[in-house]
């Protein structure tokens, strides 16, 4: 859910058979539950702010499972009267997750405090962009760590994977992929089964015979994966707070007021900067979806 942050888009996935959804923030969990999409929600992230989910759990509006990787996060889940958890295990990426060898102890601790431990999760985010010939092998080694933890933890869920490893990660029982819904310039190189569907439509607000300026800049794009790609009219030279300056392609001409499509380099932090998604068929807007799960 964190890639698109929209219950309208999530509803489309549900209509097409998705039953479980994976979220990164409490806000996403609450919004999905309120939208009636709470059949099986996983907060695949550590949080010490879980009491905001108590009502959802107790009212039965949604099934809530949270990731835990420490005594503190287990205590936060217990205190918030969360009923179900996964033990989050580090599988090579220096981020959240306990050491595989500690997973059994944490599962026992969680169970002793009344949590049902449904299994494990481990995100191999450091491998999403590995070249095709080595990716499968590296993912296998990473998932061996997760399976070792799964043995110690018990339960029937092994949750992990992403858009870059969906086709090679055959060890997980559920995939946490989300970028595939919209994609971006960076990811299309690493997950060629999916097409880009996300554009920021910007307007030419100034131009001369060498460059043009668009009215979308750093506040409209996630920039950590590089510059966005200006389509058809030229190349992005640089991005500033409110602007993209692009060099006019040979033979291209633009007029002030022209609208230009720009493809973001990173989907998640781009979507989270916009209030709505316009669903288009050619130039016709056929639906407008709120990006209603922004914030925390
Ligand atoms: C915990 C977790 N699982 C899975 C993913 C994979 O998502 P994506 O579809 O972007 O590869 C992410 C992305 O950052 C993540 O943080």
Cα three-residue angle 78-83-88, rounded to 5 degrees:
75
Residues ≥6 apart with Cβ < 8 Å to 252: 232, 233, 234
Question: According to the model, what pLDDT value does residue 132 have?
Answer: 84
Residue keyed to tokens 């790609």: 229
pTM (two decimals): 0.96
Tokens of 223: 């920039």
- Rounded Cα distance, 44 and 1, in Å: 10
* Residue 122, ligand 1, Cβ within 6 A: no
**Helix, strand and coil in the chain, % to nearest 5:** 30, 25, 45
Mutate to test the pocket of ligand 1, among 20, 68, 93, 177 (most ligand atoms within 8 A of CB): 177
Nearest ligand 1 atom to alpha carbon 178? 9
Helices 103-112 and 71-79 cross at an angle (nearest 10°) of 20
* Residue 97, ligand 1, Cβ within 6 A: no
Question: According to the model, what pLDDT value does residue 173 have?
Answer: 98
- Rounded Cα distance, 47 and 26, in Å: 8
Nearest ligand 1 atom to alpha carbon 96? 1
Name which residue sits closest to atom 10 of ligand 1, judged by CA. Answer: 179
Q: Supply the DSSP symbol for 194.
A: S
* Residue 90, ligand 1, Cβ within 6 A: no
Picking from 260, 180, 274, the residue whose alpha carbon sits closest to that of residue 222 is: 274
Nearest ligand 1 atom to alpha carbon 165? 11
Picking from 76, 87, 82, the residue whose alpha carbon sits closest to that of residue 57 is: 82
Question: According to the model, what pLDDT value does residue 133 have?
Answer: 85
Question: According to the model, what pLDDT value does residue 146 have?
Answer: 98
Ligand 1 midpoint to CA 176 (Å): 6
Q: Which residues pair with 201 in a beta bridge?
A: 261
DSSP-derived 3-state class of residue 121:
strand
92 CB-side CA count, 13 A: 17
| Residue-level pLDDT, tens digit, the chain, 296 residues | 999 999 999 999 999 999 999 999 999 999 999 999 999 999 999 999 999 999 999 999 999 999 999 999 999 999 999 999 999 999 999 999 999 999 999 999 999 999 999 999 999 999 999 998 899 999 999 999 999 999 999 999 999 999 999 999 999 999 999 999 999 999 998 998 999 999 999 999 999 999 999 999 999 999 999 999 999 999 999 999 999 999 999 999 999 999 999 999 999 999 999 999 999 999 899 999 999 999 99
Tokens of 6: 């929209």
Tokens of 210: 């060498």
Nearest ligand 1 atom to alpha carbon 128? 11
């Amino acid at each position: 859910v964190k890639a698109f942050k929209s219950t309208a888009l999530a509803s489309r996935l549900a209509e097409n058979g998705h039953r479980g959804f994976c979220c990164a923030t409490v806000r996403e969990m609450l919004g999905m539950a309120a939208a009636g999409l709470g059949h099986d929600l996983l907060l695949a992230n550590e949080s010490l702010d879980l009491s905001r989910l108590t009502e959802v759990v107790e009212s039965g509006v949604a099934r809530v499972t949270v990731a835990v990787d420490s005594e503190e996060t287990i205590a936060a889940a217990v205190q918030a009267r969360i009923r179900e958890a996964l033990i989050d295990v580090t599988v090579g990426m220096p981020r959240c997750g306990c050491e595989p060898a500690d997973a059994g102890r944490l599962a026992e601790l969680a169970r002793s405090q009344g949590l049902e431990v449904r299994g494990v999760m481990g995100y191999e985010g450091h491998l999403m962009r590995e070249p095709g010939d080595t990716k499968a092998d590296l993912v296998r080694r990473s998932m061996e760590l997760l399976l070792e933890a799964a043995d110690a933890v018990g339960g029937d869920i092994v949750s992990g994977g992403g858009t870059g490893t969906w086709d090679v990660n055959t060890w997980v029982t559920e995939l946490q992929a989300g970028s595939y819904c919209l994609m971006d310039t960076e990811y299309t190189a690493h997950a060629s089964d999916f097409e880009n569907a996300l554009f920021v439509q910007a307007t030419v607000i100034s131009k001369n015979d060498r460059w043009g300026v668009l009215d979308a800049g750093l506040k409209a794009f996630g920039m950590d994966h590089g510059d966005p790609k200006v389509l058809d009219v030229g190349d992005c030279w640089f991005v500033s707070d409110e602007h993209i300056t692009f060099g006019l392609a040979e033979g291209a001409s633009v007029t002030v007021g022209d609208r230009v499509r720009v493809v973001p380099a990173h989907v998640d932090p781009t979507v989270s900067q916009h209030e709505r998604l316009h669903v288009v068929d050619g130039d016709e807007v056929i639906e407008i979806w709120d990006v209603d799960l922004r914030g925390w």
